[in-house]
């Protein structure tokens, strides 16, 4: 597709259940990012992928959060044993990778997660 | 640590008015990049501009203009002759050069409402 695609657009789950959020980046973009947008915390960085590896996981809020990327393309963010404080919009972004310049990150429309 | 502050949480103007959105940043890095993104009700963050720390020239793009002043650590955004379609949340963001991961640190956002 032309842009970053995220699915599902909305997810409602019960506390304690696991959820998987998917991100399909722009074709050819080697860098992929996950951010979380919540009312209390604003927009926060979660994790960054360069290809299939994740050199920076510093933003993951707890060990219940994990992410993987396969084939240098699609990424999945998994939240285990969801808690109500996990309710937020999860945004994915992708960019071309160039260590010398800061490339523009292009964002998807996000997945709105509601934990009941 | 880096920080971005958008002191105006919400601004309301009448169509055709000019409006300036403020952004103040903190960083210890001498090389950094600043960004503005627009988030319409659809939720997707739309890239508007990227500026590096060595380029203090102001930029104009149609009705949009940006004023970058290193002396005051500010990167303000002005919309001239605002239109209803400009209604959105606007985010200012910072990326430091040392951070190979290129993660963005966002301000809290300014919600702009343009009334007809």
**Contact (CB<8Å) A48/B44:** no
Interface test with A, best of B45, B97, B99 (most A CBs within 10 A): B45
| Residues B24-49: tens digit of each pLDDT | 999 998 889 999 999 998 889 999 99
Q: Could you tell me the two tokens for B4?
A: 């971005």
Beta strands in A2-110 (DSSP E): 5-7, 10-13, 19-24, 31-38, 42-50, 53-56, 65-69, 75-79, 88-95, 106-107
| Residues A79-96: tens digit of each pLDDT | 999 999 999 999 999 998
Is B22 in a helix, a strand, or coil? Answer: coil
Burial of A47 (0-12, 13-18, 19+ CB in 10 A): buried
- Residue entry with tokens 């960083």: B27
Which chain A residues contact residue B104 at CB under 8 A? 33, 35, 43, 45, 105
| Residues A97-116: tens digit of each pLDDT | 765 555 789 999 999 999 99
Per-residue confidence (pLDDT) for residue A54, from 0 to 100: 85
Nearest chain B residue to A56 by CA distance is B101
Which chain B residues contact residue A44 at CB under 8 A? 106
Measured distance CA(B47)–CA(B66) in Å, rounded: 14
Nearest chain A residue to B34 by CA distance is A102
Measured distance CA(B39)–CA(B32) in Å, rounded: 23
Per-residue confidence (pLDDT) for residue B58, from 0 to 100: 85
Q: What percent of chain B clears pLDDT 90, i.e. is strictly above it?
A: 75
CB proximity list for A21: less than 8 A, separation 6 or greater: A6, A7, A8, A11, A76, A77, A78, A79, A90, A111, A113
């Amino acid at each position: 597709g032309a842009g970053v695609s995220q699915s599902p657009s909305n997810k409602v789950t019960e506390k304690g259940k696991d959820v998987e959020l998917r991100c399909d980046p722009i074709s050819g973009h080697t860098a992929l990012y996950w951010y979380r947008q919540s009312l209390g915390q604003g927009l926060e960085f979660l994790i960054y992928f360069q290809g299939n590896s994740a050199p920076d996981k510093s933003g993951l809020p707890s060990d219940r959060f994990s992410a993987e990327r396969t084939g240098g393309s699609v990424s999945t963010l998994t939240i285990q044993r969801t808690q109500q404080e996990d309710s937020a919009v999860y945004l994915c972004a992708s960019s071309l990778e160039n260590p010398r310049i800061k490339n523009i990150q292009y964002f998807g429309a996000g997945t709105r997660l509601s934990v009941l | 640590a880096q920080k971005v502050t958008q002191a105006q949480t919400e601004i309301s103007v009448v169509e055709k008015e000019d409006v300036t959105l403020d952004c103040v940043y903190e960083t210890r890095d001498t090389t950094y990049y600043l960004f503005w993104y627009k988030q319409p009700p659809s939720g997707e963050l739309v890239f508007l501009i990227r500026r590096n720390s060595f380029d203090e020239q102001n930029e104009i793009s149609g009705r949009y203009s940006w004023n970058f002043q290193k002396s005051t650590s500010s990167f303000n955004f002005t919309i001239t002759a605002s239109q209803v379609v400009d209604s959105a949340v606007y985010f200012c963001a910072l990326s430091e050069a040392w951070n190979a991961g290129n993660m963005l640190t966002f301000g809290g956002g300014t919600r702009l409402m343009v009334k007809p």
